[in-house]
Structure 1
Amino acid sequence: MRIDAHQHYWRYRAADFPWIDDEMAQLRQDFLPDDLTPLLASREFDGAITVQARQSLDETAQLLQWATSRGAADGVVGWVDITAADLARQLETLRHPRLRGFRHLVQDEPDPASWLRLPAVAAGMSTLQRQGYVWDMLVTWRHLPDLTAFAARHDEHWLVLDHLGKPDIARGATAWGEQVAELAAMPHVVCKLSGLVTEVPQGQWSAAQLNPFIEEALARFGPQRLMFGSDWPVCLLAAEYDEVSHLLEGTTNALSADEQAQIWGTTAASVYGLTGGESGSVFKR
């Protein structure tokens, strides 16, 4: 099974997407399942994980509807306020066979480190993990130490590091590898090979510049805890869909067939439970 483990849909309204600024004019339009389907087909993907782009229960419901319209190998990482006192009731309302996990835009919090330490966040995470929901982690390199401490406290189910933790490209792959080493050593943490092209200023990336980060991720996580994600349509700010997949192919072609299969879909299918059952157990790695 081949899975694009990170992409987005939206109907664009400026008020709903304040993070899309003047430098992102290309994203100020609708991006819907019919737009992605031919791109997935061109790369022989069986399905995709659609990830929330705004913190809204309405968006989560819409993403689930779109995922249902596509195929059995599609899942959703939505949003819910995990600090809410009635979280259990909200989860019951949201319950859906395509809902595989949740994400919060931690990077956009005024103080991400403090948010990760909130008692209400800890209580909410315990509830999510007990119910078998994956948690996608969105921070930048600045808060990887705080995220590492967070991950150590929440080890009952899968945690997924989005976009390699948005590394500081200028500092290089070795520095990033040292930053992420402790986090990567935790067996319940998985990393998405996604979002790199938009971390380079003005989108002026090159394969020679980004390949070392992919190689460092392979060394730290191993292919069994890595998954490809296009980050479409956000990737369009710096690269076309095919360019993003070609970037990863160029670095992983020397791996065994089984290792490549893990990165291109097996890991995502297991972690997000796209094989017909609940998401794969952390203890069956």
Structure 2
Amino acid sequence: MRIDAHQHFWLYEPVKDAWITSEMEVIQRNFLPNDIGQTLKNNGFDGVVAVQADQSLRETEFLLELSQVYALIKGIVGWVDLQSEQVEEQLNHFKQFPKVKGFRHIVEGESDPDYLHKDAFLRGIAALTQYGYTYDLLIKPWHYESTLKCVAANPKQAFMLDHIAKPPIKSQEFSDWAAFIEKLAAHPNVHCKVSGLGTEADWKHWKLDHFTQYIAHVIQCFGKDRLVFGSDWPVCLLAGSFKDTIHIVSDKLTDFSPEELAGFWGDNAVKFYGLT
């Protein structure tokens, strides 16, 4: 099954979606499965993983409602308050919905460098492990150390690194990010989404070779069976089309076998998230 492991859907609201700034005008509107369905078919995709874009329980419910209407949504990475004393009640509630596969917090928006290693957050991760949910890591460089501590403290938790940790592609800086990736990938319970790369480059002037060293490094560190593709649609539209997002990655996979390509473009995501 060919899967886009990272898509967002929303009904645009200027206050709720204040992160969508004026320079992002192209995505200042509603985006729903109908807007991407034909494009997915044209590019051979069978379905998507819908990932939260808002920090609310309502967001998870919204994605669930969409999944009941649109069969292309094969799995959901939602949001719960992982630091809440009622986190287990929230997880138990969502356990009745098989399409909810995991959860994410927008840690990149948190200024605390130790956010992922706070006691309350670690209790939430432990609850995810207990309930069999995945966790998507969305981080910035100042979270590198707490990310490594969090992962080391939770060896039985399935982690997915979003957007290969958002490397500084625009400036072509490499060493700090590369060292972090090498350390993180040493943990076998961490997988990686090759996603969201166009928006880390110069939106208007990127070239395919701007991404080469970053993609090569995650392939080397994670291996081919722990990588999945994600478009980060519609956010990817800031830097190009859906097809551009595919091209950024596809020309870097020349040494993948047919089985490894099938894994990258879908089978690895199916296994990680338990999609059907």
User: What interval of TM-score do these two structures reach, taking the shorter chain for normalisation?
Assistant: over 0.9
Q: Which residue is 2:74 aligned to? A: 74
Unaligned runs of 5+ in 2: none
Cα shift at 1:68: 2.5
From the superposition, tell whether residues 72 and 22 of structure 1 become closer, same or farther in structure 2 (CA, over 3 Å): closer
- Does 2:12 align with 1:15? no
Cα shift at 1:203: 4.2
Kept in 2, the 8 Å contact 1:148–1:183? The answer is: yes
Question: Which letter does structure 1 place at the counterpart of 2:231?
Answer: S
Counterpart Cα distance in 1 of 2:206 and 2:141:
18
SS at match of 1:254: coil
TM-score w.r.t. length of structure 1: 0.92
What are the within-5 Å matches in structure 2 for residues 153-168 of structure 1? 153-168=153-168
Counterpart Cα distance in 1 of 2:254 and 2:42:
19
Counterpart Cα distance in 2 of 1:142 and 1:213:
19
Kept in 1, the 8 Å contact 2:172–2:210? The answer is: no
Cα shift at 1:211: 1.9
Q: Which residue is 1:281 aligned to? A: none
Kept in 2, the 8 Å contact 1:6–1:230? The answer is: yes
Q: Which residue is 1:121 aligned to? A: 121
Kept in 1, the 8 Å contact 2:101–2:134? The answer is: yes
Q: How many residues are aligned here?
A: 274
Counterpart Cα distance in 2 of 1:205 and 1:145:
30
Question: Which letter does structure 2 place at the counterpart of 1:123?
Answer: R
Cα shift at 1:259: 1.0
- Runs of 4 or more off by more than 4 Å in structure 1? none
From the superposition, tell whether residues 81 and 247 of structure 1 become closer, same or farther in structure 2 (CA, over 3 Å): same
- Does 2:56 align with 1:59? no
Identity over the aligned pairs, expressed in percent?
38
Kept in 1, the 8 Å contact 2:64–2:99? The answer is: yes
TM-score w.r.t. length of structure 2: 0.95
SS at match of 1:74: strand
Kept in 2, the 8 Å contact 1:78–1:101? The answer is: yes
SS at match of 1:14: coil
Q: Which residue is 1:92 aligned to? A: 92
Kept in 1, the 8 Å contact 2:203–2:240? The answer is: no
SS at match of 2:248: helix
Kept in 1, the 8 Å contact 2:167–2:200? The answer is: yes
Cα shift at 1:175: 4.7
Instruction: Give the CA RMSD over aligned residues.
Output: 1.4
Counterpart Cα distance in 1 of 2:253 and 2:73:
23
Cα shift at 1:92: 2.1
Cα shift at 1:72: 6.9
- Does 2:194 align with 1:187? no
SS at match of 1:6: strand
Q: Which residue is 1:283 aligned to? A: none
Counterpart Cα distance in 2 of 1:254 and 1:156:
31
Counterpart Cα distance in 2 of 1:247 and 1:110:
30
Question: Which letter does structure 1 place at the counterpart of 2:109?
Answer: D
Instruction: Map Cα deviations across residues 47-72 of structure 1 (whole Å, 9 max, x no partner).
Output: 10000001011111010111232227
Instruction: Map Cα deviations across residues 158-201 of structure 1 (whole Å, 9 max, x no partner).
Output: 10000000112224445532221110111000000001110113
Counterpart Cα distance in 2 of 1:53 and 1:223:
28
From the superposition, tell whether residues 150 and 77 of structure 1 become closer, same or farther in structure 2 (CA, over 3 Å): same
Q: Which residue is 1:101 aligned to? A: 102
